[in-house]
């Protein structure tokens, strides 16, 4: 039996039902809004996702904070003390210091629990790109895959975690610092909608620009169908409180690819950097 726990952060944006089904340990990031700090639970219990996106529509500017090492130790130590190992799949290290906090916590705990294992994988991904890798790891674990083989398999998947998405307002990405310095995401012409991706370097890059929101959603479908690398795994459709467009995108993707498509609202941390109206496909691609 595969006796280990998969640990990740709330930035994976998987549904709370899926996290419970897989027995995930989820370390929570925080968001600061109107002078109050909220923990990012997958079920939005402290700050509902709808209220969060409405606040951004009302020109509120939330900020996020990374997870510190102590929070990871608090999550990891009971697992190791119970005799189980940990497979930690983390948020893109170029986007956040959270992954490094997890790595340092693992190193400290392994000196205390030398007979245990903590294997770590930098997803170089965000939101449901990270979530897809967690999903893959959880399915592998269900099949009885060892922690070592699962970690190696996940590492092999990292270059294939494709994010193809668009946003309504590029300023959220600009102020969040998640875009690559060389990208062309800033400076879009009025009326032009960007198609964005997370590149091999783990940061947001511009893929192309199209002339309308409708055209951008259609282009997401085209690019996903062209780049799809495997039908074994589902396509996740993530959205920043634009469910009707997300359901439309999901329907188009099912028709174009024949894949299972799972729709989920993006949580407050990644939503902080994408804003209301973010919509995209997250899938196993031929490349990123």
Q: What is residue 49's three-state secondary structure?
A: helix
The four Cα atoms 36, 32, 195, 12 give a dihedral, to 10 degrees, of -100
What integer pLDDT is reported at residue 151 of this predicted model? 98
Domain final residue pick, 158, 182, 208: 158
pTM for this prediction: 0.94
For residue 216, what are the β-bridge partners? none
- Same domain for 52 and 85? yes
Distance separating alpha carbons of residues 96 and 102, to the nearest angstrom: 11
Confidence of residue 190 (pLDDT cuts 50, 70, 90): low
Q: Is the pLDDT of residue 245 over 80?
A: yes
- State percent of the chain over pLDDT 70: 93
Is 193:215 a contact under the CB 8 Å cutoff? Answer: yes
More confident residue, 240 or 169: 240
Q: Is the pLDDT of residue 140 over 80?
A: yes
- Same domain for 118 and 244? no
Is 162:217 a contact under the CB 8 Å cutoff? Answer: no
Helix or strand (DSSP H, E) at 255:
helix 243-257
What pLDDT, in 10s, does the model give residues 72-101?
Answer: 999 999 999 999 999 999 999 999 999 999
DSSP string, 98-119: HHHHHHHHHHHHHHH-TTS-EE
CA distances from 50 to 2, 78, 264 (A): 38, 33, 13
Per the structure, the count of domains in the chain is 2
- Same domain for 98 and 185? no
CA distances from 263 to 30, 207, 246, 251, 266 (A): 23, 23, 7, 10, 10
- Same domain for 99 and 170? no
What integer pLDDT is reported at residue 185 of this predicted model? 55
Q: Which two tokens stand for residue 65?
A: 């904070």
Domain final residue pick, 108, 141, 158: 158
- State percent of the chain over pLDDT 90: 86
Q: What is residue 202's three-state secondary structure?
A: coil
Q: Is the pLDDT of residue 108 over 80?
A: yes
- Same domain for 24 and 127? yes
- Same domain for 136 and 81? yes
- Same domain for 132 and 41? yes
- Same domain for 10 and 140? yes
Q: Is the pLDDT of residue 177 over 90?
A: no
Q: Which two tokens stand for residue 167?
A: 């946003």
Domain final residue pick, 158, 192, 220: 158
What pLDDT, in 10s, does the model give residues 29-40?
Answer: 999 999 999 999
Helix or strand (DSSP H, E) at 175:
helix 171-176
CATH label of the domain that carries residue 224: 3.30.1180.10
Distance separating alpha carbons of residues 267 and 203, to the nearest angstrom: 19
CATH label of the domain that carries residue 68: 3.40.50.10170
Domain that holds residue 169: 159-284
- Same domain for 262 and 203? yes
Would the CA dihedral through 72, 274, 12, 44 be positive or negative?
positive
- Same domain for 173 and 151? no
| CB burial of residue 3 (10 Å; 0-12, 13-18, 19+) | exposed
Count of residues making up the chain: 288
């Amino acid at each position: 039996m595969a006796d280990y726990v998969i640990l990740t952060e709330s930035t994976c944006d998987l549904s709370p039902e899926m996290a419970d089904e897989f027995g995930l340990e989820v370390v929570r990031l925080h968001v600061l809004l109107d002078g109050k700090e909220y923990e990012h639970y997958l079920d939005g219990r402290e700050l509902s996702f709808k209220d969060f996106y409405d606040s951004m529509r009302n020109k509120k500017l939330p900020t996020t904070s990374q997870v510190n090492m102590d929070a990871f130790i608090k999550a990891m130590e009971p697992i190791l003390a119970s005799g189980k190992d940990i497979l930690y799949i983390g948020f893109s290290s170029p986007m956040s210091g959270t992954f490094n906090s997890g790595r340092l916590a693992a190193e400290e705990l392994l000196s205390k629990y030398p007979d245990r294992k903590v294997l770590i994988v930098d997803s170089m991904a965000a939101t449901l790109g990270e979530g897809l890798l967690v999903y893959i790891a959880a399915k592998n674990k269900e099949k009885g895959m060892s922690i070592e083989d699962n970690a190696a398999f996940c590492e092999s998947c990292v270059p294939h975690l494709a994010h193809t998405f668009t946003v309504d307002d590029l300023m959220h990405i600009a102020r969040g610092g998640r875009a690559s310095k060389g990208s062309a995401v800033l400076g879009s012409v009025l009326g032009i909608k960007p198609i964005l991706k997370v590149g091999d370097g783990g940061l947001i890059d511009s893929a192309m620009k199209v002339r309308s929101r409708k055209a951008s959603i259609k282009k997401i479908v085209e690019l996903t169908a062209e780049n799809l690398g495997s039908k074994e795994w589902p396509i996740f459709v993530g959205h920043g409180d634009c469910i009707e467009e997300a359901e439309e995108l999901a329907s188009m993707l099912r028709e174009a690819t024949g894949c299972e498509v799972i729709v989920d609202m993006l949580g407050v941390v990644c939503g902080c950097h994408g804003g209301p109206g973010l919509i995209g496909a997250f899938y196993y691609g031929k490349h990123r």
